[in-house]
Amino acid sequence: MRMRKLGRTGIEVSAYGLGTMMCGKMGNPDHDDCVRMIHRALGEGINFVDTADVHGYSETEEIVGKALQGRRDDVVLATKFNGPMGEGPNRSGSSRRWVVQAVEGSLKRLRTDHIDLYQIHHPDPYTDIEETLSALTDLVRAGKDRAIGSSNLPASEIVEAQWVSQQRGLHRLRTEQPTYSLLNRGIEREILPACHRYGLGVLVWSPLAMGLLTGRYRKNAQRPDNARMKWVPGHLTDERKLDAVEQLLTLAVEAGHSLTRLAMAFATSHPDVTSALIGPRTMDQLDDLLTGATLTLDRIDAIVPPGTDISLLDVSYTPPSLDRTDLRRRPPHERAAA
């Protein structure tokens, strides 16, 4: 397994990282089987394990903590905060109040005294980034976090966070974790250039486009009746994406590889991508993903042009102003007054 520098942190991580969202009720409820998968991945040279407190509402972190007992020093462990972790208005987000509470919960579930990379899971438009960075800086100085990063931030917020850190003498975000795949290449336009400019490590999630690039979801074929179909139905039934999948399948066959391997080779080939997160649900899926391939990728550009998304993922971050009319348009009486 190839090792790459994680931005400018000096930390080295494997080109494939193990995403664990499928460990637990969201995917594989057999804890012992999940532990075996994690051990197998580590045995194959993966040293980067990524999770989040909200995955399984703490269940996934508990599985990861169990799996890493006796192996913790050999693993670069990452987790995230921000998602809702229970009832009440203050059990989510990026406020100092929640950050310092969330990290204690993660440390306990992960059975460790420090987190190598602590990440803001989603943008929080209602919290000043200085508030969040100040709290994260204190956690780094206290030894609870080694480095801090973000996930799903727009390029403008990546730049803002770097500026605030510089102006206020706070620790900088060292990584960004966006979605990137053969079908979702939008980050090539602004996010990857911004990460390159500031020396951020890039850890891409869903390189298989949430299952579309496994070949299981085909145009004019019966849809699998599974949890993923219920979770992101719009994504898995998008006709434009399914059309692209058919073209990519043909390209993969001509290259003598599976679509899965073509997708992984693509995700890890960009020079600004540090590691691509795989998220297997079963041991068979893990075995297939670990059999990587080096492929000629030039023909992909004709199917999905660089810097473009074939529509957004169902779970992609959407700024509130795009969903709420009152945040992008004045009420009629105010427009009349103006």
- Chain segment 301-332, per-residue pLDDT in tens: 888 888 888 877 766 677 776 777 777 666 76
Residue 182 has a pLDDT of 94
Q: What is the mean pLDDT of residues 58-84?
A: 97
Q: Regarding predicted confidence, which is higher, 93 or 211?
A: 93
* pLDDT band for position 289 (cuts 50, 70, 90): confident
Q: Regarding predicted confidence, which is higher, 338 or 170?
A: 170
Provide the number of structural domains found in the chain: 1
pLDDT digits (tens, 9 = 90+) for 236-257: 788 899 999 999 999 989 888 8
* 181 φ, ψ (degrees, to nearest 5): -160, 180
Q: What is the mean pLDDT of residues 183-194?
A: 94
Say which CATH number the domain at 273 has: 3.20.20.100
Contact 77, 42 (CB under 8 A): no
Residue 291 has a pLDDT of 74
Tell me, yes or no, if the pTM score tops 0.85: yes
Structure-token pair, residue 47: 């040293």
Element (H, E) at 242: helix 239-255
Q: How many of the other CB atoms lie within 10 Å of CB of 253?
A: 12
Q: What percent of the chain has pLDDT over 70?
A: 92
Q: What is the mean pLDDT of residues 283-300?
A: 75
Residue 23 has a pLDDT of 96
Residue 325 has a pLDDT of 73
Please say if the pLDDT value at position 194 is more than 90: yes
Residue closest to 317 by CA, chosen among 123, 127, 149, 132:
123
When the pLDDT of each residue in the chain is averaged and rounded to a whole number, the result is 90
Residue closest to 37 by CA, chosen among 63, 9, 59:
63
Residue-range definition of the domain harbouring residue 159: 3-337
CA dist 332 → 312, 320, 325, 335 (Å): 31, 20, 12, 5
As a whole number of Å, the CA-based R_g of the chain is: 20
Q: Regarding predicted confidence, which is higher, 284 or 172?
A: 172
